[in-house]
Amino acid sequence: MDQFVDIPKVVGTKQTLKAVSEGKARKVYLAQDTEEHIKKMIYDCCQEHMVSIDCVDTKIQLGKAGGIERPAAVITIIK
């Protein structure tokens, strides 16, 4: 997984769904240890708007890669 500390991004489910729906998302990174209903919402939205998803093993790994000091279920790189 790439490090994306200095890349424009949004963190979290609500912000990701908004960015994807508005056509602002470039790529979504989703932690596999996220709750199933959240993963389904993200997958469905990304599929509908043709945004690619990369999976990461854990929320802790994803948070570190995104340069935040907490676990992250989803981080979205924006345009």
* Per-residue pLDDT at 46: 98
Predicted TM-score of the model (pTM): 0.93
Strands lying side by side in the sheet with 52-56: 9-11, 74-78, 25-31, 52-56
Locate the domains of the chain by residue range: 9-78
Express each pLDDT in 20-64 by its tens digit. Answer: 999 999 999 999 999 999 999 999 999 999 999 999 999 999 999
pLDDT of residue 3 exceeding 90, the answer is no
Fill in the DSSP letter of residue 59.
H
CATH 3.30.1330.30 matches 9-78: yes
* Per-residue pLDDT at 2: 57
